[in-house]
Amino acid sequence: MTSQAASRPNAGGGLAQALRDGYILMWRNLKRIPRIPELAIFAVLQSIMFVLLFAFVFGGAIPIAGGNYREYLMPGIFAQTIIFASATVSVGMAADMSQGIIDRFRSLPMARSAVLTGRTMAEVVYQGGILIVLMLSGLAVGWGVHTGIVEFLAGVALLLLFAFAMAWVGVWLGLSVPTVEVAQQVGFTVLFPITFISNVFVPVQTLPDFLRPVAEWNPTSTLTAATRLLWGNPTAADPRLPAATGFPAEQPILLTLIWVVVILAIFVPLAVRKYRSVSR
């Protein structure tokens, strides 16, 4: 406390500091994954349960052109898992806000954005890990990638980009709810319809007319359709059903990228504003 020289924190600030501080908070968020392994284990188990349920229980009843329902299902499961990531982020964020550690962060000469960017970047890394486990289980039930390495990586990149966008939704939600329990409830109430009114489990043509446009434009559907297209998994429904037409069916990759931009453009400013206003 007497040594003056050592007490001068590095000058700096700006983008470099924001990135450095964001990285440290990402490290912090990733560190806790092996410390609470149950979280990751159940996240993976939940997705595997969906694979098994739909592949073996409903699979026979759902008509798919080109045959293999599991090939059709897996990209949808990946997308569903990614969308659900926003729920875990919101719970984590709400938990942080309910504890004193946020006060410590706010009293430090660190980039204000780091708490949020650290959380969302960690989520992308975490979802990447979960994706690897899911892909291995997909291979085990007969799913595969039938295109090249470039298309494979493009599909993975699209999924992770989407995970990043959804993480910001989760951050905003986590900052907006009063308690961790509410974050959990809201997450699942909103996310189940989003992932079910989509092409994840069934072709959209099987849906009633009033739901079909919702399902077609649903980001879960466009993300699923985009990865199916990139990896050569079946995209079409049974030929006996009317063919899917329109922009979502024709440009799923472009539409997914548009969704990513739109979600980020809305939720990054909302989350940042919410964080700034917390207990001020």
Partner 1 sequence: MDAITAEGLVKIYRTRKNEVRALDGIDLTVGEGTVLGLLGPNGAGKTTTVRILATLLKPDAGRATVAGFDVVRQAQQLRSVIGLSGQYAAVDENLTGRENLWMFGRLYQLSSADAKQRAGELLEQFDLSDAADRVVKTYSGGMRRRLDLGSALIGRPKLMFLDEPTTGLDPRSRLGMWEVIRGLVRDGATLLLTTQYLEEADELADTIAVVDRGKIIARGTSDELKSQVGGERIEVVVRRKEDISRAGEILARQDSTNPQVHSEEHTRRLSIATNGGANRLMQLMRDLAEAEIEIDDIGLHRPTLDDVFLSLTGHVADGPKPDAEAVSHAAAAARSEKPA
Note the residues at the interface with partner 1 (CB under 8 A). 1-3, 6-7, 9-10, 12-13, 17, 20-21, 24, 27-28, 31-32, 35-36, 99-110, 114, 279-280
Both tokens of residue 27?
A: 């490290």
Q: How far apart are CA 188 and CA 162, in angstroms?
A: 18
Nearest to 69 by CA among 58, 84, 80: 58
Is the Cα torsion angle 104, 105, 106, 107 positive or negative in sign? positive
Which one, 240 or 280, has the nearer CB to partner 1?
A: 280
Nearest approach, Cβ of 202 to partner 1 (angstroms)? 40
Nearest approach, Cβ of 108 to partner 1 (angstroms)? 5
Both tokens of residue 19?
A: 């990135």
Nearest approach, Cβ of 109 to partner 1 (angstroms)? 4
Number of neighbours of residue 133 by Cβ within 10 angstroms: 17
Nearest approach, Cβ of 111 to partner 1 (angstroms)? 9
Q: Where are the alpha helices (DSSP H) in 141-239?
A: 149-176, 180-196, 212-217, 219-231
Which amino acid appears at position 268 of this protein? V
Tabulate helix, strand, coil % of the chain (nearest 5): 75, 0, 25
The DSSP symbol for 239 reads T
Nearest approach, Cβ of 127 to partner 1 (angstroms)? 19
Both tokens of residue 11?
A: 């000058």
